[in-house]
């Protein structure tokens, strides 16, 4: 079929530049040499490339000559309807894909929380078995496992005043399958251990405060210290020589005794142990005359008449405390030291999973049987959810940091 030039009507409707480009396009398609024109050399080269790229994409229902020429010109001038149409299609597809991604992200959270968990969960407890964190973790872990339909394994990762376990938790995958069940001891870590390779405020997410254990000032039952009055008298006569035990350097137990020292203007000798249970046993054995103990660690030794409770180190008396346990506040010393236990997750754990654990634990803590068992373990159910718990951490940290500044407490790390 003979090649034809573009229709005259379409050429007449063009301006001078477009008519010259049409003629040039036709010459290119026919193989006819272009008329020499240095000023239009770049335009001819661009036009030639455009025609070569588009000559086989024209509709077969019209003449290939005219289609390629006019299509090339429209493409160069931005008037190509096919290009505009394709732009619209691409834009719509990109926008649709973006909406799909956004929707999938919004729906993934609830779906992920509903399907969680699909395998056993690990509680890292940074203290030895028998301490307040351990016994509470096992009780809550059993009930939470029943609620979630999965086994919860308690792993005691001890050492370095509990920081080894905390460090392991911060490095775990943030998928909800490794959680930290610990006391509030680590809230002073950034101050006492600035060289630690983790920051609990940045690397952990508070989930829920489970329970609170009041600290007890306990004494060796066979010793010479039978009351707070005796302790103050002997400490004043022997500055820096009355030793006390704690679960480790920088723990709340240590800071509680130092708090008493500030209030009573006394100086004590700190002897750290690896956990609350060993610290209580040291008092019972007479290795140290006194110690800041949790009820869970001290109760069996109190019942065995090996440890005597001198005072509660909290302002408020817990519901399970017997009437013969006076508070330090009642003795004239404004000390208020309690050891809370709580659940944390590695930073990055999906919020829907955090919310579900929070809700399940709060529901468990409403069970009368659980609350009674917590009292038997020397704690009281707290049930403080995430937002309020964060405020509690800030308040406690500020108070203990002041004690650290005034006493010069340090941790060898």
The set of residues, in sequence order, having a beta carbon less than 8 Å from that of 160 and lying 6+ positions away, is 248, 413
In degrees, rounded to 5, the angle at the alpha carbon of residue 381 between the alpha carbons of residues 368 and 355 is 100
The single-letter DSSP state of residue 197 is: S
Task: Sketch the domain layout of the chain as residue ranges.
Answer: 14-79, 86-115, 120-413
Beta carbons of 137 and 310 less than 8 angstroms apart: no
Percent over 70 (pLDDT), the chain: 72
Annotate 65-130 with three-state secondary structure: HHHHHHHHHHHHHCCCHHHHHHHHHHHHHHHHHHHHHHHHHHHHHHHHHHHCCCCCEEEEECCCCC
Span 141-159, pLDDT tens digits: 999 999 999 999 999 998 8
CATH architecture of structural domain 120-413: 3-Layer(aba) Sandwich (3.40)
Closest CA to 170 of 43, 19, 346, 314: 346
Q: Please, what is the angle between helix 386-407 and helix 252-264, to 10°?
A: 50
What number of residues does the chain have?
413
State the residue for tokens 């409770």.
Answer: 309
**pLDDT score for 91:** 55
Tokens standing for residue 339? 């050891």
CA dist 173 and 29 (Å) reads: 64
Span 272-316, pLDDT tens digits: 998 888 999 999 999 999 999 999 889 999 999 999 999 999 998
51 band by pLDDT with thresholds 50, 70 and 90: very low
Beta carbons of 220 and 310 less than 8 angstroms apart: no
127 band by pLDDT with thresholds 50, 70 and 90: confident
**pLDDT score for 89:** 53
Q: What are phi and psi of 321, to 5 degrees?
A: -75, 135
Looking at every residue in the chain, the average pLDDT score rounds to: 82
3-class state of residue 309 by DSSP: strand
Residue 361 in this model has a pLDDT that exceeds 60: yes
Residue 2 in this model has a pLDDT that exceeds 50: no
Q: What does the buried/exposed string (b/e) look like for 124-145 if buried means 16 or more CB atoms within 10 Å of the residue's CB?
A: bbbbbebbbbbbbbbbbbebbb
**243 preceded by a cis bond (ω within 30 of 0):** no
**pLDDT score for 379:** 94
CA dist 395 and 400 (Å) reads: 9
């Amino acid at each position: 079929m003979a090649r034809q030039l573009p229709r005259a009507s379409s050429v007449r409707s063009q301006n001078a530049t477009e008519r010259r480009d049409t003629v040039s396009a036709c010459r290119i398609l026919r193989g006819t040499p272009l008329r020499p024109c240095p000023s239009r050399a770049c335009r001819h080269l661009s036009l030639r490339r455009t025609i070569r790229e588009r000559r086989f994409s024209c509709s077969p229902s019209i003449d290939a000559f005219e289609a390629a020429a006019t299509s090339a010109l429209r493409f160069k001038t931005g008037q190509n309807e096919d290009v505009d149409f394709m732009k619209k299609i691409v834009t719509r597809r990109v926008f649709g894909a973006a909406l799909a991604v956004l929707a999938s992200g919004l729906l993934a959270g609830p779906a992920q929380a509903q399907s969680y968990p699909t395998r056993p969960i690990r509680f890292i407890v940074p203290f030895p078995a028998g301490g307040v964190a351990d016994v509470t973790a096992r009780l809550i872990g059993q009930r939470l496992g029943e609620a979630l339909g999965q086994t919860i394994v308690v792993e005691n990762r001890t050492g370095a005043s509990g920081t080894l376990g905390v460090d392991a938790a911060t490095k775990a995958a943030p998928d909800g399958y490794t959680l930290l069940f610990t006391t509030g001891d680590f809230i002073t870590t950034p101050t006492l251990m600035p060289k630690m390779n983790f920051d609990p405020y940045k690397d952990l997410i508070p989930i829920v405060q489970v329970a609170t254990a009041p600290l007890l000032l306990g004494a060796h039952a066979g010793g010479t210290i039978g009351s707070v009055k005796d302790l103050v008298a002997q400490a004043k006569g022997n500055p820096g020589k009355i030793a006390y035990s704690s679960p480790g350097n920088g723990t709340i137990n240590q800071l509680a005794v130092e708090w008493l020292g500030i209030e009573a203007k006394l100086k004590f000798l700190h002897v750290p142990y690896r956990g609350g249970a060993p610290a209580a046993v040291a008092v019972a054995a007479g290795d140290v005359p006194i110690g800041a103990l949790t009820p869970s660690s001290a109760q069996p030794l109190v019942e065995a008449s090996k440890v005597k409770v001198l005072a509660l180190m909290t302002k408020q008396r817990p519901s399970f405390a017997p009437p013969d346990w006076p508070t330090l506040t009642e003795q004239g010393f404004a000390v208020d030291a309690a050891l809370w236990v709580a659940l944390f997750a590695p930073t990055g754990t999906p919020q829907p999973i955090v919310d579900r654990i929070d809700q399940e634990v709060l529901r468990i803590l409403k069970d009368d049987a659980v609350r009674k068992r917590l009292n038997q373990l020397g704690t009281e159910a707290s049930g403080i959810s995430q937002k309020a718990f964060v405020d509690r951490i800030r308040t406690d940290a500020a108070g203990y940091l002041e004690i650290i500044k005034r006493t010069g407490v340090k941790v060898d790390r």
